[in-house]
Amino acid sequence: MEGGLLRVDLTTGTIKKERIPHALFERWVGGSGINDWLMWEHFLKHDPMCDPRSPDNIFIFGVGPLAGVGSGIGVKGRLTFKSPCYGIFGDSAGGGKFPYMVRFSGFDYIVVTGKAPKPVYLHICNEEVTICDATHLWGKGCEETHEMLKQELGDYPSTTHTLSIGQAGENQVGIAGVVSDGWRIHARSGGGGVMGSKNLKAIAVQGNGGVKIDNPNGLLEWSDDFRQKLDGNEAAYGFKRRGTLGAVEMYQRIGGNFWRNNQGALFRGEEVRSDNWVKKYHKYSEVCSSDCYIACDGRYKIEGHESEQAKKFVGETFRHPEYLTTASGAGAMDIRDWAEVAHWGKITNDYGIDNQDLSCSIGFIMELKQRELISDRDVEELFGKPQSLEWGNIEDIEELVKNVSYQTNPFGWLFRDGAYWGALRYSEQKGQNFMKYAIYGKGGASFTEEMRPFPTWMNNMAVASRGSDHLKGIGLIEKFQRKDLSKAYFGTPIAGDPTVPDLKGACTAVLENQVALINSYGVCLFHWLLDPLSYAPESYYGEAYTAVTGIDRTKEERMLDGERICNLEKAYNSRLGLRREHDTICERWMHEPCPEGPNKGRVAADMFEQVLDEYYEWRGWDKETGLQTRKKLEELGMEDVADVLAADNAIAGESRSGRAVHVEMKASDDPGIPD
Amino acid sequence: MITVQAEYTARFKEITQITSETIQLEQPHMAELAQILTTKYGERMEALLIDPKTQDLNTNGTLFVDSTGRRLFIDDTLADGETVSFMVGIAGG
């Protein structure tokens, strides 16, 4: 197994083509694992403390060995960079056709450094790579940018597929995402802000080459077996029509929703907690990539007769809102009409901005207004005019999306890096502490699900390498009360009981390792969630990985591969000065009792420290500091990483006189408040 | 004999064509409720409800809970008047 690596320095205009050697796949699997290593190597030569918006930051796109080979597990491309909003490790996944089209062009990884003197886009046409002027694209939304590039570059030697940023990325908004083919956002961590800081508007790719498979017959047999397994999985049929939207009703019954900046745990709007979405708006299901046996994506079109509010959006068509778009729109900001929720998803995608972080910023300021903690005059200072800040007012909300995306007023400037940094800056500006109303976990990242009754979920938000996040650890065992999985993983059902702390830190550690494998294979998480034991990444998916790469492993060795990748992401953050005290969550989740639902009264603080201790124990890290130990890193064959950490005084129990990097975590550069 | 309320969402609603119904059980057992539903709604319901490997309630991609949000297994006892929700769901996105 070898991979193609494209390196582009936008400052000098230099383009280099390299090979990723087999040994790197042996050590880092592929996909996110190799992305992480490329970033680690970069910051051995560049200052890891650099401003994420500076030319020293690195922007990596990578795709794993199982993407686009016909496995049927879906495709995910991964972006990796230093996050401009959280100031720590940042990465983000996205599906669609762009990832495997990159492989068909001959590359698996694209590394961009430096900064172009003017807006550019990168055009990759098989092995021919060109840095092109993007002045005509600057100022355009993601959908229009994609359509213009498709027109411009045509359908030969293949259709054109793109990654692009919208206005939020252009304005270096910290919570800006990167959008694939105009409609699938890599939302988390602020990759759009990094692209904007490099004057990189888009990457367009056309490729008609193939992908080398070590054992094609073995892969075909595996793929056929997987298809038959999925065909026999009845739950997959429900998932096909709704995608993750089925979770709305489920969370309503287990108290897992998030309402009005998490002042509640249950949706209020009858319409948005019903299945009317499927009845009224769903037009057809479709695959996000052509390498997926589920096809959970779907298209809507608003006719105008569906509701009174729908009349405002006649003709609008887009992807159906996923659960988290619904949780941010219908939940965090209390939008009560499906057409308006869908519109929220469409505009955040088009401006290219993460609707998790943004909805918590908007929810925060709406809650201050609701509680009369800010006056009409304060509101005018923030927005330059009166603003209703009514919950669920889509016209108001759309204006606020523009404020942040275009950076047009103090609200936009203050909240460009999300709710935590916005709340902190606003508290400092007003001389009042508003932090108890800010929803965040590690790094200041926001997330719109109820956290307090679910100890693994809560711990995931505190320890995830990219900041408060649901996709690194997964709350699969305790949130869904999977005592059967708990027995299979740990020999006891107790991890499936969310009312006690036992084995909840262990769940985070083990599932982080499994997710790291899936992300490194370059496939989708959802197939695995439909049958986690049968489709285990370390065994069943591992067979497909072996067929593609020729790299054979026992399941125990594959779990160590996943653990090694998690440890590399951790090591990067440790170099930045992150310690146990940074593995934390917000005051509302920690101390304010869950207000309603079957888990009324629960607070995260009841179990938080115990679960965190257990997580460090399972990780083999030092509980007092949260730092890695040399012993653990050596077990994983990471002596080189341990040496770097030791030189930075960022490894447990080794203090030396070299460079001491231990700083308070802070936002990249404070935007200040322009006159 | 007890009475329970069965609530259906998502794929369950498509199979049953209703959102809820009242069901009488001779014995207060989840096993009897599952048996009644598979008899009434056929193979697709059985495929959703029962894991053929364990003969317990299916846990993959599904969640069956009582009114307190507690997941139910095949050997659980149900109280008279209990509401059982049958759900299919994966979060995220």
Question: Torsion angle, CA of A271/A275/A277/A283, rounded to 10 degrees?
Answer: -160
Tokens of A383: 């927005």
Instruction: Report which DSSP code applies to A594.
Output: P
> Is A662 part of any domain?
no
pLDDT of A2 > 80? The answer is: yes
> Is A229 part of any domain?
yes
Backbone angles phi, psi at A41, to 5 degrees: -60, -40
Q: Of A246, A325, A470, which is closest to B89 when you measure between CB atoms?
A: A246
Q: Mind listing the pLDDT tens digit for each residue in A228-242? A: 999 988 888 888 878
A410 and A502 together in one domain: no
Residue A593, SS3?
coil
* B-chain residues near A255 (CB < 8 A): 69
Q: Of B10, B71, B93, which is closest to A323 when you measure between CB atoms?
A: B93
Instruction: Report which DSSP code applies to A653.
Output: T
Mean pLDDT for all residues in chain A: 94
A184 and A226 together in one domain: no
- CB pairs < 8 Å spanning A and B: 115
**Segment (H or E) for A404:** helix A394-406
> Is B41 part of any domain?
yes
**Segment (H or E) for B27:** none
Predicted pLDDT of residue B93 = 67
The Cα A89–Cα B61 span in angstroms is 31
Q: Which residue has the tokens 């887009």?
A: A318
A199 and A239 together in one domain: no
CB A205 within 8 A of CB A102: yes
> Is B65 part of any domain?
yes
Query: What number of helices (H) and strands (E) belong to chain B?
Result: 3, 4
The Cα A421–Cα A416 span in angstroms is 8
- Which of A396, A422, A444 is a domain's end point? A444
CATH code of the domain covering residue A605: 1.10.599.10
DSSP per residue over A193-262, as a string? Answer: HHHHHTTEEEEEEE-------S-HHHHHHHHHHHHHHHHT-THHHHHHHHGGGGHHHHHHHHT---BTTT
* B-chain residues near A525 (CB < 8 A): 92
CATH code of the domain covering residue B83: 3.10.20.30
CB A572 within 8 A of CB A39: yes
Q: Is B17 left (phi over 0), alpha (psi -120 to 50) or beta?
A: left
The Cα A482–Cα B62 span in angstroms is 10
CB atoms within 10 A of CB A270: 9
pLDDT of A332 > 60? The answer is: yes
> Is B37 part of any domain?
yes
The Cα A660–Cα B53 span in angstroms is 56
> Which of B48, B60, B85 to probe by mutation at the A interface, max A CB count within 10 Å?
B60
Predicted pLDDT of residue A656 = 63
Backbone angles phi, psi at A604, to 5 degrees: -65, -30
Closest Cα of chain B to A531: distance in Å?
Answer: 5
Contact B11 A235 (CB under 8 A): yes
> Is B58 part of any domain?
yes
DSSP per residue over A142-193, as a string? Answer: HHHHHHHHHHHHTTSSS--EEEE--HHHHTT-TTB-EEETTTEEE-GGGHHH
> Is A657 part of any domain?
no
Instruction: Report which DSSP code applies to A604.
Output: G
pLDDT of A449 > 60? The answer is: yes
The pLDDT-based confidence of A661 (bands split at 50, 70, 90) is: very low
DSSP per residue over B30-53, as a string? Answer: HHHHHHHHHHHH-HHHHHHHB-TT
Q: Mind listing the pLDDT tens digit for each residue in B7-22? A: 999 889 989 999 999 9
Instruction: Report which DSSP code applies to A17.
Output: E
Of A19-23, A599-603, A610-614, B86-90, the least confident = B86-90
The pLDDT-based confidence of A266 (bands split at 50, 70, 90) is: very high
The residue-averaged pLDDT of A588-592 equals 97
Peptide bond into A157 cis (omega under 30): yes
> Is A449 part of any domain?
no
Predicted pLDDT of residue A238 = 80
The packing angle between helices A504-521 and A540-549, to 10°, is 30
Range of the domain at B8: 2-88
> Which of B50, B71, B86, B90 to probe by mutation at the A interface, max A CB count within 10 Å?
B90
pLDDT of A465 > 90? The answer is: yes
Closest Cα of chain A to B91: distance in Å?
Answer: 5
A571 and A552 together in one domain: yes
Tokens of B66: 């009582």
pLDDT of A659 > 50? The answer is: no
Predicted pLDDT of residue A658 = 44
CB atoms within 10 A of CB A290: 11
CA distances (Å), origin A421, targets A195, A416, A486? 21, 8, 37
pLDDT of A641 > 80? The answer is: yes
A135 and A262 together in one domain: no
Q: Mind listing the pLDDT tens digit for each residue in A176-222? A: 999 999 999 999 999 999 999 999 999 999 999 999 999 999 999 99
A415 and A460 together in one domain: no
CATH code of the domain covering residue A378: 1.10.569.10
> Which of A237, A518, A519 to probe by mutation at the B interface, max B CB count within 10 Å?
A237
Residue scoring higher pLDDT (A236 or A46) = A46
Interfacial A residues in 223-242 facing B (CB < 8 Å) = 232-239, 241-242
Contact B9 A233 (CB under 8 A): no
Closest Cα of chain B to A391: distance in Å?
Answer: 23
Write the CB contacts of A332 (distance below 8 Å, at least 6 apart in sequence): A258, A259, A260, A261, A262, A359, A360, A362, A363, A448
Predicted pLDDT of residue A378 = 98
pLDDT of A397 > 80? The answer is: yes
- B/e letters for A409-420, b = 16+ CB within 10 Å, e = fewer, are bbbbbbbbbbbb
> Is A214 part of any domain?
no
For residue A602, give the amino acid letter.
Answer: R
CA distance from start to end of chain A: 56
CB A594 within 8 A of CB A603: yes
> Is B93 part of any domain?
no
A200 and A233 together in one domain: no
The Cα A287–Cα A125 span in angstroms is 24
- Residue A325 near chain B (CB below 8 Å): yes
Tokens of A540: 């069943």
Tokens of A598: 């079957």
Tokens of A545: 């990985």
Structure ipTM? 0.94
> Is A667 part of any domain?
no
Tokens of A32: 């996110």
A397 and A541 together in one domain: no
- Which of A206, A232, A266 is a domain's end point? A206
Q: Mind listing the pLDDT tens digit for each residue in A505-553? A: 999 999 999 999 999 999 999 999 999 999 999 999 999 999 999 999 9
Would you give the distance in Å from CA A476 to the centre of its chain?
A: 17
The Cα A370–Cα A25 span in angstroms is 53
Q: Mind listing the pLDDT tens digit for each residue in A474-510? A: 888 999 999 999 999 999 999 999 999 999 999 999 9
Count of domains observed in chain B:
1
> Is A183 part of any domain?
yes
> Is B70 part of any domain?
yes
CA atoms within 13 A on the CB side of A302: 24
> Is A120 part of any domain?
yes
Nearest partner of A611 among A530, A527, A498, judged by Cα: A498
The pLDDT-based confidence of A675 (bands split at 50, 70, 90) is: very low
A419 and A486 together in one domain: no
Please work out, in degrees rounded to the nearest 5, the angle formed at the alpha carbon of residue A437 by the alpha carbons of A432 and A440: 120
* A-chain residues near B11 (CB < 8 A): 234-235, 237-239, 246
CA distances (Å), origin A467, targets A190, A325, A670? 11, 19, 19
Residue scoring higher pLDDT (A661 or A238) = A238
Range of the domain at A123: 3-206
* Residues in chain B whose Cβ is within 8 Å of chain A: 9-14, 44, 47-48, 54, 56, 58-63, 65, 67-71, 73, 85, 87-93
> Is B16 part of any domain?
yes
A169 and A263 together in one domain: no
Find, in chain B, the residue whose alpha carbon is nearest to that of A255: B69
Q: Mind listing the pLDDT tens digit for each residue in A76-135? A: 999 999 999 999 999 999 999 999 999 999 999 999 999 999 999 999 999 999 999 999
Please work out, in degrees rounded to the nearest 5, the angle formed at the alpha carbon of residue A290 by the alpha carbons of A289 and A293: 95
CB B56 within 8 A of CB A483: no
The Cα A612–Cα A609 span in angstroms is 5
Closest Cα of chain A to B49: distance in Å?
Answer: 9
> Is B19 part of any domain?
yes
Tokens of A269: 């709007």
Nearest partner of A176 among A34, A378, A377, A358, judged by Cα: A358
Predicted pLDDT of residue A670 = 47
Name the percent of chain A lying above pLDDT 90: 89
Count of domains observed in chain A:
3
Tokens of A126: 């098989």
